[in-house]
Chain A
C-alpha cells in the first residue's frame, strides 16, 4: 500500500540548473530581460473610477467600494480599497561590500535597477508606476566616482529613479551592483506590487549558472507560484527577467531574500527589507481611527470574524481585531511635520498597524536588518570551492550591512567621517566599494544611526536574516516598546493590546518585530543599541565593533545631524 518510487535527485541547484538549459535568446537581443509595470489594472482602473491616478499617488482610505468592470466581455464585481500600482526592479548577481575593519567581502547579491537615487539615499526603491516607467536615463553611471553611462540617451530627460529597461543597460548597470541589504522595498496596503528580477549573472563566478529568486517572507496566504522556493515553483536563469506580482499583504514588517540554496545565498548576502504601511495612514485628518477600522470590518478580506457576538464564522488568523475600547483617537497632522526636515509639512501620523487606537503611532521609520557574515565562507564562495555548512561561523555582525562604527558612518556626525567625505558619500551617506573592474559602486546605502528630536517616536522595523544563530539587540537607555511581532499587531482576539516594554529583543533567522523608541522625556544625548551577545561586538579580529549603533536624541531640529 505504500508507494515508494525512489527517484534519483542530484543536489537541487545542479538539478535545477540542468532541468531547462538557458536556451532561449529571443528577439530581445540581450537575453530575455523584460521589465513590466502596468499603468492600469482591474484593481486600479484609473482616476475615473478611483478619483485619483493610482500610477502616481495614493488616495484616502474611506472604506471598500464595489464596482463592476468588464473583463473579456464579462461583467465582474470588484471591491476596491484604494492603493496604487507600484513597481521595482532588482538585479540578481554578485558584488563586493566593505566591512567595518576595511576588509572587502565578496557577495552573491541583489542590486537596485530602479529607484536608484532613492536607494542610494537610504530610501525605499519602490516607485509609483509613472516614475518607474519613465525609464532610467543619466549621463553617468550610478556609481562613484561618476563614470560615463554608455546607454545614456541625451534626447530624453534625465530620470534617476526610473527602471533600467534596456537589456544592454541592465547588464551595464546591473553587473556587480549588489547591495547589502538588497534594495529596500516599502509600499502601502491595497497596492499592487510588481517586482522584476533581472538575473545578470555572477561575473566573479563564471563557473556557476545560478538562478536567483525572491521569497516574500511572511506573506499571509502566499501563492506558491510567486513564493520563490525553487523546488516548489520556477527560478529565473541568467539573462532573463521575471516579475513577481502580489497584492500588498496586511501591514507589517516583512523581509525578502533569495531562496536558492538558502544557507549559501543568504549567508552570501541575498537578503533585504520590505515593509507594508497600513490603510490607517491614509485615513483623512480628523477621522476617528476606530471608525475607520470598523469600515475595514465591512471588507471581507480584512474583516475580523473572531467569533464575536453576532458573527457566524471565525478566522483564527485574523490580523486586525478592533481594540477592546474606542479611545477616541483621531487622525491628525504629525506635530513634527515641517519641523523635522525628514517629515514634509502637513504629513499625518504614521502607524505600524491598523490599530484603531493610535497605539502604534510613530514619526520616523527605522528599518534595521540583522545579519552576519562568515568571512571564510565568503572567501571559499569566491574561489570555486564547495563550502561547508556545519562549520559556518559568523565573524562580522551587521546592522543593515554595516558593523559599528560604520553603522553610524554619517558624514558630519560626531566621531564619524568628515562632513566632506566622499566615502561614505556626504550627500547620500552610502558606502561604496571598489569592485574587481576598478569601478566603485554603492554597496551599503543604509546607516542605522537613529536621529530623534526629543518627543519623536521611532519605529524600529527589526528583522534578522542571520543563517547561523539567534541574536539579541538591547537598548541601554531608552525602553523598547514591542508592539508588533512577525508582521502582526500584538493584540489578543478580544482586542486587548499586548505590548511588551523591555530593554532587549531576541530574533532568530527569519524573524521580524516592531519596536517603538519613544524619546519623550529622554534627555538629549547619545544612546546605544547593541548586542549583549558580547562576542558579536567585534569585527573579525577587531574586538570592538559589530552589532551596535547609536540613537541621537536632540533638543531641537537644529541640534541634530540628519
Chain B
C-alpha cells in the first residue's frame, strides 16, 4: 500500500488476432407491443416442463405456468384475441388481467415431472385463501399430478408478481413466475375511457384501462410490461439431465435404488442469459405471440408518439437487481408493488420519484409513466425552417405544445410539437432542402457509421427525413428496423449493469430493446 511503487507494465505478448465471433442474429422488423394477457375471474393453470429458445440457438429446458387443457381464456387487449395463445407452459406465465374488486380463483395442476415434487403459486400483495392441495412451507402446494386452488380479492389496482412458493431458488429460476395486472374499476376524471381516445384517429385502443390507478394523475395512452429475469443455464441443464436420468433409471438387482427426487445445485449462481419477458435481445423485439416463440409469447418493444403518456409496468422476477436505463427521458414512479405513492399533504399530487434508471429489485414491481416530447432541445425536431414554404403552424397550448387545446387538428403531422423551437433550424449550413442558420455544423457524413435504427437525419417523420437527406442519400435510409414511411427516432432501453446486455457472452443481447418515438400520424399497431 505504498503511494508510488509503479511497476513496469508487463510486456504484452501479442497474441494472434482474435477471431471475432460473428454471430448471425435474427432481427425482427416492425413489431410493437402492449400488455397482452388473459382475463377472467377463474384461471385454470398448469405447471409443465417446456423448452424456451434464446438468440444464440440454445433450447433451454424450463418449467412454466400455462393454461390447462380445456381452459379457453379470453385475451386482452381484445385485438390479441385472434393471435393469442396459451399453451401448457410459458415463460413468463400467463399475465392474469383482472378488475379491481373481483374475486379471483386460480386452480393450479402440477404437470411437472414426478421428481420435481410439489409446486405452488404465491401472489404478491394479496390475501390468498387456499383450497385442496397439500400443506407447504409458505402456501398450499399441488403434488405431482394433483391440484390446488388459490382465491383472492383483487383489492387494489396495479402490477403484481406471482411465482412459485415451493423451492423458489430452483422453481423460479426454472421459469415459474408471472404477473397479475389489476385494472381500476373507475375512469378517473380527465382520463379517456377505453375506446374514447380521439387522438387515436379511429385506430384501435390497446390499453387495458384508462388509468393505472383510481387517480386522475395516472391516466395513460399506452402501456408495456417488462419482467426481468436472469438465467443460469447450468441449473437448467442439471434439472433436465436428472429428470431424464430418473426416468430411465433401472434399479440394479441388490444394488443402489434409483433416485426419486432432484438434487439440483443452485449455488454458485452464475447466470449468462438476461431476459426481459423470457426473451433476450433481439428476440424481445419480435411480436407478441410470434409463432417462433411458442413458449415465450410476450415481447419488449415499446413505441410511442410524442407526448404519449406511456405506462411502464416492471417486475423483478429473478434474484438480482437490474438498473434499467430508459434513454430519452425520466420515468415518474407511480407505485411500488401496487401501492400508489402520493404527496403526504395533498393526495391530488404524486409523490413518487423521477428516475432515468429505474431499479428493479427481486420480487418488486413498479409502475411508472414515461413520455418523450423533445421539449427544450433548442431546435425543431421536424426540421421546419422559416424558408420552407408550406410548414404547418405551431400554436402553443398552456404547456407550450401544439395540441387540440391550441387548435391543432388531430391529424397534424407535428401534433404535440414543442412550439418554442418551431422553425428554429438545427444545422448551421443547409442540408438537403432544410435551410441552415442554426447553431451546429454537422459532421461529414462519410466519416460516420450509421445504425440500423437511424433514419439518417436528426429529425422525426418521413417529411422531415425526405427534406433533409440531401441529393445523395446516405445509408441506411431503408432500414427494415425503421423504414422511411416510419422515420421514427430511436432510443435504447437497457440494463445499465452493462454486462447484462449480452447473450451467453455475445454482445448485443440480453436486457436490451430499442424504443421508437414515431411521428404523430404513424399508426402503431401493437399486435404486429
Contacts and interface: CB of A to CB of B under 8 A. Distances in A.
B496 A6 contact: no
B449 A20 contact: yes
Interface string A315-353: 111010000100000000000000000000000000000
Interface in B409-455: 420, 423-426, 428, 435-441, 443-454
B228 to A, nearest CB: 12
Contacts of B348: 307
Nearest to B375: A221
B252 interface: no
Interface string A499-534: 000000000111100000000000000000000000
B351 interface: yes
A261 B494 CA distance: 12
Interface string A195-216: 0000000000001000100010
B447 A390 contact: no
Interface string B101-120: 00000000000000000000
B448 A242 contact: yes
Most chain A CB inside 10 Å of its own CB: which residue of B345, B377, B475? B377
Contacts of B474: 20
Given A2-B287, A231-B514, A104 B6 contact: yes
Interface stretch (A164-172, A180-188, A481-489): A481-489
B355 A42 contact: no
Interface centre among B217, B387, B400, B517 (most CB of A within 10 A): B400
B528 interface: yes
Contacts of B496: 467, 508-511
B1 A385 contact: no
Given A3-B31, A34-B444, A388-B505, A494 B399 contact: no
Contacts of A264: 507
Contacts of B345: 324, 494, 496
B469 interface: no
Contacts of A424: 4
Interface in B466-501: 474-476, 480, 489-492, 494, 496-499, 501
Contact of B4 (A227, A230, A421): A421
Contact of A234 (B377, B386, B437, B454): B454
23 contacts: A4-B29, A10-B25, A34-B444, A71-B423, A74-B386, A103-B7, A192-B439, A221-B328, A222-B329, A225-B458, A225-B489, A227-B328, A232-B454, A300-B396, A313-B398, A316-B369, A383-B14, A384-B16, A390-B505, A423-B6, A436-B9, A486-B356, A510-B325
Interface string A356-396: 00000000000000000000000000111110111110000
Interface string A471-500: 000000000000001111010111010100
Contacts of B21: 11, 386
Contacts of A36: 440-441
Given A301-B376, A436-B9, A235 B497 contact: no
Nearest to A239: B447
B492 A231 contact: yes
B328 A222 contact: yes
Contact of A468 (B292, B446, B497): B497
Most central of B217, B325, B374 by chain A CB within 10 Å: B325
A222 to B, nearest CB: 5
B363 interface: no
B188 to A, nearest CB: 12
Chain B interface extent, by class: 35 or more
Contacts of A12: 451, 507-508
Contacts of B20: 11, 14, 386
A138 B452 CA distance: 43
Contacts of A211: 448-449
A490 to B, nearest CB: 7
Interface string B217-260: 10000000000000000000000000000000000000000000
Contacts of B398: 305, 311-313
A433 B496 CA distance: 29
Given A3-B528, A71-B386, A384 B497 contact: no
Given A3-B31, A229-B490, A319-B354, A467 B378 contact: no
Contacts of A392: 499
B26 interface: yes
Given A229-B327, A303-B399, A468-B497, 18 more contacts: A6-B28, A12-B451, A20-B449, A31-B447, A34-B441, A71-B437, A104-B7, A224-B458, A231-B452, A247-B378, A262-B494, A301-B375, A313-B397, A319-B354, A436-B9, A468-B499, A494-B343, A510-B497
Interface stretch (A21-29, A112-120, A155-163, A553-561): A21-29
Contact of B351 (A10, A71, A436, A498): A498
Contacts, number: 421
Given A76-B423, A218-B356, A220-B330, A10 B309 contact: no
The secondary structure that dominates the B interface is: loop
A549 to B, nearest CB: 15
Interface string B1-43: 1111111010011111111111111111111000000000000
Contact of B444 (A26, A101, A192, A492): A26
Interface string B289-312: 011100000000000000001000
Contact of B3 (A224, A391, A405, A486): A405
Contacts of A239: 447
| Dominant secondary structure at the A interface | loop
Could you say which of A221, A229, A544 has the most chain B C-beta atoms within 10 Å of its C-beta?
A221
A150 interface: no
Contacts of A78: 424
Interface centre among B22, B322, B453, B507 (most CB of A within 10 A): B507
A202 to B, nearest CB: 14
Contacts of A221: 328-329, 372-377
B498 A262 contact: yes
Given A42-B439, A231-B514, A511-B496, A102 B6 contact: yes
Nearest to B492: A229
B343 A231 contact: no
Nearest to B322: A508
A319 B356 CA distance: 13
Instruction: Name the residue among B21, B356, B426 with the largest chain A CB count within 10 angstroms.
Output: B356
Interface string B353-380: 1111101000000000101111111100
Contact of B15 (A71, A222, A383): A383
A287 interface: no
Contacts of B344: 492, 496
B458 A467 contact: no
A143 interface: no
A144 to B, nearest CB: 13
Given A207-B17, A488-B353, A493-B351, A229 B491 contact: yes
Interface pairs A-B: 5 shortest CB-CB: A510-B496, A508-B323, A74-B386, A240-B447, A300-B400
A4 B282 CA distance: 13
A236 interface: yes
A10 B22 contact: yes
A492 B4 contact: no
B265 interface: no
B153 interface: no
Contacts of A433: 6
